Structure 1
């Protein structure tokens, strides 16, 4: 039983930790980094050579000066992709959107790059870029912390953990119970929670969805920008409660049948 509890806790922590975003295609990152390097160095000709019609006007140089004013003058220490998406539609160019964070001492330059190409065999064309300079103090303020929070924050956070643990525990109880009709349907049901209460961790703004189904009853989201807030969501693990009831009934029925046999 101790091993079962430990497994539940481990699985709950893995579920709440979330999954890292899939690695962006290397050619998309390379095209984005090239555009960032050209913008950082003021290479108007280079940007226009690899850019689409949006970047061909004489106003590009002035726009580039404004972008360069947002870039720290010291060398960056780390570059990472925080979000990316590729869109493919029939009869339209392939479009890629990628957000890259360049870290500097005490600051972050958050880049958003839009690229397109007509086919997989052609190089990416730069369609647009934007940069936002953010201080580490701002990043820290927008980050996730349990310090100095309201009772509502703590209720949502620990409610998420409780929901995940209960769903996983109910799932294990169902699959280890004696055989009964629709056993696997109840096992799947035990992993689901219904309704959803969401909380913006930074502002404290909350919302409620009465009609919602979620896996394990817990989720958290954050946008690509370091200043985007964390949004935590928790549901009511009704499926887990039904699963526990049905697994318990199966165990009681088997115990009663065993006693009757003697």
Structure 2
């Protein structure tokens, strides 16, 4: 339980991005949606020219009108390039109520400089109906996805049941060693809940194994991770962690 709580706490941590990189990304998005092409070209000299201006107009045409209701950072990646500087990718998600936009920039800061330069940016727009496929909902899935979900949910339950059996088995020695072994599983399986695509890692040993993950954006699908509770099944079946019973002699 301590390990599980630690994992949940780590998953709930907010994304920490460079404040200057986030500010620049927000400024570029505002300049794009408000039609400030001159300022936008100054921010991204590599994206200037007639073709870039036409592209800006096409992107501006798909952005929902009005001010967004909210914004959050949903992605950030940093990479140091030896002898050159630092590259950073920032993803911001805007909520307009009737639609959401995902604005992503690739920035570069030369070695010794304090200012970020814009290398490229990308825009995605989708309605709540289009994004519904990425929700963690058990509706409209295939039979194989339901079977995998049943395995993912039953696996930790069987591990906990095996732990209870180990702790309550009289005469079992080294219970402190058997207890963590109940949570060992073989073969790691991860499924994209939106598409049903499944990745199987056969030569994998998992501890607990069950996990739900999402990058924090409505544009990203949920992934469900599970493992086969082999040790728990052996314990529950009495194959292992089952001390021999002492025969009881009937008294005359």
Query: Is the shorter-chain TM-score for this pair beyond 0.5, marking a shared fold?
Result: yes
Alignment of 1:1-262 (within 5 A): 19-20=11-12, 22-25=14-17, 26-51=19-44, 53-119=45-111, 122-167=114-159, 180=174, 189-222=181-214, 226-240=218-232, 248=241, 252=243
Distance (Å, rounded) in 2 between the aligned partners of 1:175 and 1:34: 59
* Alpha-carbon displacement from aligned partner over 1:104-158 (angstroms, at most 9, x marks no partner): 1210111111111124861221111111110111112332211243433232223
Is the partner of 1:195 in helix, strand or coil?
A: strand
**TM-score in terms of structure 2 length:** 0.76
The number of residue pairs the alignment matches comes to: 242
Distance (Å, rounded) in 2 between the aligned partners of 1:224 and 1:70: 23
Indicate if the aligned counterparts of 2:106 and 2:121 stay in contact, CA closer than 8 A.
yes
Indicate if the aligned counterparts of 2:84 and 2:111 stay in contact, CA closer than 8 A.
no
CA displacement at 1:11 relative to structure 2: 7.9
Distance (Å, rounded) in 2 between the aligned partners of 1:148 and 1:57: 46
CA displacement at 1:239 relative to structure 2: 4.8
Is the partner of 1:98 in helix, strand or coil?
A: strand
CA displacement at 1:180 relative to structure 2: 3.8
Unaligned 5+ segments in structure 1 are 1-7, 257-262
Is the partner of 2:81 in helix, strand or coil?
A: coil
CA displacement at 1:166 relative to structure 2: 3.9
* Alpha-carbon displacement from aligned partner over 1:56-112 (angstroms, at most 9, x marks no partner): 444321121111112111221111122211112322321111211111121011111
Distance (Å, rounded) in 2 between the aligned partners of 1:138 and 1:73: 19
Is the partner of 1:97 in helix, strand or coil?
A: strand
Indicate if the aligned counterparts of 2:212 and 2:224 stay in contact, CA closer than 8 A.
yes
Cα 1:127–1:246 change in 2 (3 A) is farther
Match of 2:250 in 1: none
Distance (Å, rounded) in 1 between the aligned partners of 2:73 and 2:8: 21
